[in-house]
Structure 1
Amino acid sequence: MYRDLTKGNISCSLLLFALPMIAGNLLQQCYNLADTLIVGRILGKDALAAVGSAYTLMTFLCSIFLGLCMGAGAVISIYHGKKDDTAKKFAICHAFLLIFAVTLILNILVYIGIDLILAFLRVPSAILQPMKEYLLIIFAGIIATSLYNFFSCLLRALGNSVVPLVFLAVSTVLNISLDLLFIAVFPWGIKGAAVATVLAQYVSAIGILLYTIFRCKNLLPSKKELHYDKQILKEILNLSSLTCIQQSVMNFGILMVQGLVNSFGPAIMAAFAAAVKIDTIAYLPAQDFGNAYSTFIAQNYGAKQYDRIKKGTRQAFAISISFCICISIVVFFFAKNLMHIFVLPEETEVIAAGISYLRIEGAFYCGIGCLFLLYGYYRAVCMAEMSVILTVISLGIRVLLAYLLAALMHSEIGIWMSIPIGWVLADITGLVYMKKSMAG
């Protein structure tokens, strides 16, 4: 169940390690996918717009502690590659306390500032109250999401990508079942979707926590080993904080784009909500493959197998680009069919806007696929500051162009066009720097 990525066939190891991660995150997307599908079909476009806008906000909030988890996971992977079990246990303990403290503070702040958040997002008055009701409930799941992500990142860092998938599968089935019960059977409306998601999140969080405590005791420090280690905490803080910044900047940029989308009204908001779900699921395998590649790089970096890193990098880019080309073709030609999954046929304005988004952005999935690999590489070799730079390039250009082109074109098409331009420019920068760093 635990995979050693420092030996064996590289492509097979990467794919076998990545597949459970891909399946797990596809299931995780089902949390919001179920909300989107059921809410859009039963409660209508205004409720769909509210849930979709809330999804973008929650993605940003979760990116803060997800970035911390990913950074900590890279440190743990490096110690695992070095076969230093004592340092690995110290890293696990320090990372958990740090991430849980940040999560608690974040949870308190979002409840205090919910009205300011809604104002920043420029939420139309027609959906302001239902979106606030939804958020007040969904915020209760932040701690559960943080716990699940920490322990799943921990297990994946050590080569176990199967167990996180099992707990997600159970909670996803529960989420969908409760969605149908609370929305289609009970008249709970948008609140029912939020309650279903939060309950499912706690099932996966508590499940993986108990599994780690009772089945992975060798990973947990004993009472004698529970003491402060300044050097290890410094390593975790350096890598985790930069990864957190990278993730947060990326999703904050998306949040700013969401605010611009909201200014075009509920129809465009609903189109964006549905299209983003399709978009996220389409390139999610490339994202998870990038995370698997990052674990591969970190373990081999710890083991000082630099030739294996170079060989694995070439193979990883070939696999990711091949997949992205295939998925781009599917999304481009079946954009209308995909939109019909979430939106009723009579909502012609919503469907048309969603199709244009998917065809413009979907044609360039190779750009985001390469970017995920670059993020993973720089995080794994303790150069997370480069991931931040690439994110600033990608998102900075996206946000600036989105506002500029939308104003010049007086259309949401300008927003859609800005996204792949940002990807491509960040890719060029990251690949040039990678080539120089590997040559050195």
Structure 2
Amino acid sequence: MIAFKWWEHVTIESFIYLPILSMGQTMMVFTGQNFGAGKFDRIREGARKGLILGIGITLLLTGICLIFRESLIWVLLKDERIVRIGAGIMGITLPFYFLYAILEITGGITRGLSNTIGPMRNSILFLSGSRILLILLWAQKGNDINRLVLVYPVTWGLCAFFNYRLMKKELKRRSK
């Protein structure tokens, strides 16, 4: 049996994940400062531009990683079978990383509006709870890694949707 070293895959994804995380934190600070100053129009404009920038950067980086995925994995691993499996996993997850950008940025904006519980609840519920449930349900249908890998984009999408709704609701509530 060939051991799959998950940390090599994560290393490549870090080139995409770290800018997303930075955008979420930046938007939290930006929003918090403007919230304190009562500049809600600026928060709305910043949210729109932050989402556009974050999604744009994510799409650019994921496109580069998708094009060169086998070469990137080959730098870390020299096993052809593992390179093929890793490239397959990247082919499933990377096109949906923009959802992760949305969930991080909208979560950051909501935190900047002094609602830290909502994004935390959504992360626990969708990135942990529903992920475990989906893995349990899908694992019963067979031992297919592609099906299990799909759990990530599905849960990112759920969390992004609910974080976006929460951000809109919080902006509306706070700007009254």
- TM-score, normalised via structure 1 length: 0.37
Cα 1:429–1:343 change in 2 (3 A) is same
1:430 matched residue in structure 2: 163
Q: Unaligned 5+ residue runs, structure 2? A: none
Larger radius of gyration: 1
Cα 1:326–1:296 change in 2 (3 A) is same
Distance 2:150 2:91 in 1: 10
Distance 2:128 2:65 in 1: 23
4+ residue runs over 6 A deviation:
none
Distance 1:334 1:395 in 2: 30
Instruction: Select the residue among 277, 280, 304 that pairs with 2:11.
Output: 277
Deviation, structure 1 residue 362: 0.4
1:81 matched residue in structure 2: none
Kept in 2: contact 1:300–1:309 (CA 8 A): yes
Deviation, structure 1 residue 384: 0.7
Kept in 2: contact 1:402–1:416 (CA 8 A): no
2:42 matched residue in structure 1: 308
- TM-score, normalised via structure 2 length: 0.89
**Which structure is higher in RCO with an 8 Å CA cutoff and minimum separation 6?**
2
Kept in 1: contact 2:110–2:166 (CA 8 A): no
Kept in 2: contact 1:394–1:422 (CA 8 A): yes
Q: Unaligned 5+ residue runs, structure 1? A: 1-264
Cα 1:322–1:303 change in 2 (3 A) is same
Alignment of 1:420 onto 2:156 = no
Kept in 2: contact 1:293–1:316 (CA 8 A): yes
Cα 1:390–1:266 change in 2 (3 A) is farther
Instruction: Select the residue among 370, 373, 378 that pairs with 2:102.
Output: 370
Deviation, structure 1 residue 421: 0.3
1:321 matched residue in structure 2: 55
Deviation, structure 1 residue 394: 2.8
Percent identical residues: 23
Kept in 2: contact 1:267–1:349 (CA 8 A): no
1:289 matched residue in structure 2: 23
Distance 1:404 1:280 in 2: 28
1:335 matched residue in structure 2: 69
Alignment of 1:396 onto 2:129 = yes
Kept in 1: contact 2:113–2:170 (CA 8 A): no
Aligned length: 172
Alignment of 1:361 onto 2:93 = yes
Deviation, structure 1 residue 371: 0.9
Distance 2:109 2:94 in 1: 24
Deviation, structure 1 residue 266: 5.5
Alignment of 1:20-419 (within 5 A): 267-268=3-4, 270=5, 272-344=6-78, 347-391=79-123, 392-419=125-152
